[in-house]
Amino acid sequence: MSQSIIHAAHRIVVKVGSSLVTNEGRGLDHAALLRWAQEIAEVSKMGKQVVLVSSGAIAEGVARLGWSQKPTSVHEKQAAAAVGQMGLCQAYESAFRAYGLKTAQILLTHEDLADRTRYLNARSTLMTLLNLGVIPIINENDTVVTAEIKFGDNDTLGALVTNLIEGDALIILTDQTGLYTADPRSNPDAKLVEEAEAGDASLEDMAGGAGSSVGTGGMYTKIIAAKRAARSGASTVIASGREPEVLARLARGERIGTQLTAQSTPLAAKKQWIADHLQLKGSVVLDAGAVRALRLQGSSLLPIGVKEALGDFLRGDVVSCVDVSGVEIARGLANYSAAETRRIMRLPTGQIEAALGYIDESELIHRDNMVLMGV
């Protein structure tokens, strides 16, 4: 059997569920947290970047408040989450510190990822943390969300974070060894699914299907998360968080649990999305040198090669790159708005900062965020 997709993955999102983190609700499992921290340190040393999405705030809050069971009222759940998140933070901070790693807490809501500016800000912060070698630890910002605007479960959050940072892979650690052909708790004959295509509809039936008791969480949300992650080209592994050295072994290429493979790579998925993008917010007119650099040398687009910026695009919008006669050469995600582009076009990279007072990127459109058109 081929190697685990985690072996080749560079940027990985790891999601751990409440039952694992809190030892089935009995309070934080410090030994498990230490194990994952040790393994993530090992995976980082292999040159991979890791983001951790951790549940457990509500379960830990319930334990800290001395409640015998999870409350049903939204506000009590939110209060429990606020109490429990302190415990999660403390525990992760000291577990990772033991292995020489710094951590950062990021709490997100659905609205943060739906709003374009907040999406880009969250993305930039996460990328900056990863480049600094810090491990971001993400949870839903339970205090400010109500049922209608909740991710609802952290499997979904894990997938959206994978899309956000263009991760190569999502690892969902849970209390089962992977996806079975039926719920193994009630079907002792169920078999482990070792590999399948992410998005394969038959998986949803194995996991219970929407609307069943399992459909509100359990494996179903993991299958849907794998489908979402695959949209940006990331494959998913579902495995047991209790399996010794699970993360390190996956990273070394060992096959563990269930692998749900995406049909394209993150780069190909992004380029397809850009090529298909119909809502172009503007265009830039390139000089002959820039046209040659894009077409023949596979270069990024630098401000110096831009003669004109048309329309009113913002940073992150898809813009069209045309030659002086209006022929579309490429399409890509702009790093600067139309107004900024007008101030930096025709300038060499070294003068961008003086013209704007800051520099985000030296390219107007990076090659990885660009597709050539009509070739």
Ligand X SMILES: N[C@@H](CCC(=O)OP(=O)(O)O)C(=O)O
Ligand Y SMILES: Nc1ncnc2c1ncn2[C@@H]1O[C@H](COP(=O)(O)OP(=O)(O)O)[C@@H](O)[C@H]1O
> Is residue 14 within the footprint of ligand Y (CB under 6 A)?
no
Strand pairing report for 49-54 and 11-16: parallel
Residue entry with tokens 């849907």: 224
Closest CA to 181 of 173, 172, 190, 189: 190
DSSP at 26: T
Residue 107 phi, psi dihedral angles, 5° rounding: -110, 125
Residue 142 is assigned to a ligand binding site: yes
Closest CA to 145 of 75, 224, 73, 228: 75
Binding flags for ligand Y, 198-237, as an x/- string (CB under 6 A): --------xxx-----x--xxx------------------
Residue 271 is assigned to a ligand binding site: no
Nearer to ligand X, 59 or 113 (CB): 59
Per CB under 6 A, the list member of 180, 271, 303, 313 interacting with ligand Y is: 180
Identify residues 328-357 at the interface with ligand Y (CB under 6 A): none
Size (the chain), residues: 375
Residue 15 is assigned to a ligand binding site: yes
Closest CA to 159 of 141, 140, 183, 175: 140
Contact 40, 49 (CB under 8 A): no
Identify residues 2-61 at the interface with ligand X (CB under 6 A): 17-18, 55-59
Nearer to ligand X, 32 or 294 (CB): 32
DSSP at 335: S
CA distance 149 to 363: 36
Q: Taking the complex as a whole, how short is the minimal distance between the CB of residue 58 and ligand X, in angstroms?
A: 3
Q: Taking the complex as a whole, how short is the minimal distance between the CB of residue 346 and ligand X, in angstroms?
A: 49
> Is residue 78 within the footprint of ligand X (CB under 6 A)?
no
Nearer to ligand Y, 184 or 316 (CB): 184
Identify residues 92-131 at the interface with ligand X (CB under 6 A): none
Closest CA to 84 of 129, 46, 139, 40: 139
Contact 4, 255 (CB under 8 A): yes
Nearer to ligand X, 58 or 306 (CB): 58
Contact 218, 229 (CB under 8 A): no
Residue 143 is assigned to a ligand binding site: no
Helix axes 154-164, 116-131, angle to 10 degrees: 80
Q: Taking the complex as a whole, how short is the minimal distance between the CB of residue 86 and ligand X, in angstroms?
A: 12
Task: List residues near ligand X by CB under 6 A.
Answer: 17-18, 55-59, 81, 139-140, 142, 153-154, 217
- Residues within the annotated binding site for substrate? 55, 142, 154
- Residues within the annotated binding site for ATP? 15, 174-175, 216-222
Task: List residues near ligand Y by CB under 6 A.
Answer: 17-20, 174-176, 179-180, 182-185, 206-208, 214, 217-219
